[in-house]
Amino acid sequence: MVPSIRIAPSILSADFARLGEEVRAIDEAGADWIHVDVMDGHFVPNITIGPMVVKALRPHSTKTFDVHLMISPVDPFLDAFAEAGADVITVHPESGPHIHRTIQRIKALGKKAGVSLNPGTPAKMLDYLMDEIDLALVMSVNPGFGGQSFIDSQLRKIEAVRRAIDKSGREIALEVDGGIDVNTAPRAIAAGADVLVAGTATFRGGPTAYAENIRRLRGS
């Protein structure tokens, strides 16, 4: 059975001067999740937001807050993002010395745990984590900036992760983030993705365009 496609607009591409309104707008436009990109200027070459902003945004939507931590070291900040209202916390294997322990901490906080694979990180990195994770995120760009072009080689990785998920027999979301638009979304879905992160493609055109943008990404 093919899973339904969930759209997770990345607020990295939202109007930061109106962030609460933007979250409400994409919620009302049909977003399934709210994707929050957290960058520290160290693990990735950009700085975005911290737990206080997540906490401030939490009252603006009841949708799943899908918080992607691109920070290192990541472990000292897990509790703060959990308390701020994250529902899913996704981390990179490279962002701490013990990825399994990091996942255990996320789960102990009562949150869903995700692992993100950069373009150069192999799918096999998930081999001994499949029993623990709730989400696998394949980065189809090098993380750090919005508006980049989709890296085609990541389609093979999406396919490999899909096979691993299916073999596990567990309910694990397969998310793809980077360069997702109306042209690349169908390719990511065909490769096995069931959650699409889209920033520029969602927020293009302003609030009146969000519902149609989301509908087109979903392919409905």
Tell me: is residue 146 an annotated ligand-binding position. Answer: yes
Tell me: is residue 144 an annotated ligand-binding position. Answer: yes
Q: State the sign of the Cα–Cα–Cα–Cα dihedral 74, 84, 193, 168.
A: positive
d(CA 127, CA 114): 14
Active site residues: 37, 177
Which pLDDT band holds residue 2 (cuts at 50, 70, 90)? very low
- Residues in a beta bridge with 114: 90, 135
Which tens digit of pLDDT belongs to each residue from 19-64? 999 999 999 999 999 999 999 999 999 999 999 999 999 999 999 9
Q: In what order do the strands lie in the sheet with 88-91?
A: 6-9, 195-198, 173-177, 135-139, 112-117, 88-91, 64-70, 33-39
Burial of 63 (0-12, 13-18, 19+ CB in 10 A): middle
Q: Of the candidates 29, 63, 35, which has an alpha carbon nearest to the alpha carbon of residue 215?
A: 29
Global confidence as pTM: 0.96
Which tens digit of pLDDT belongs to each residue from 148-162? 899 999 999 999 999
Tell me: is residue 37 an annotated ligand-binding position. Answer: yes
User: Coil, strand, or helix at residue 121?
Assistant: coil
Tell me: is residue 10 an annotated ligand-binding position. Answer: yes
Which tens digit of pLDDT belongs to each residue from 166-186? 999 999 999 999 999 999 999
Tell me: is residue 178 an annotated ligand-binding position. Answer: yes
The Cα-based distances of 1 to 15, 89, 187, 194, 217 in angstroms read 37, 27, 18, 12, 20
What residue ranges define each of the domains in the chain, with the CATH number in brackets? Answer: 6-218 (3.20.20.70)
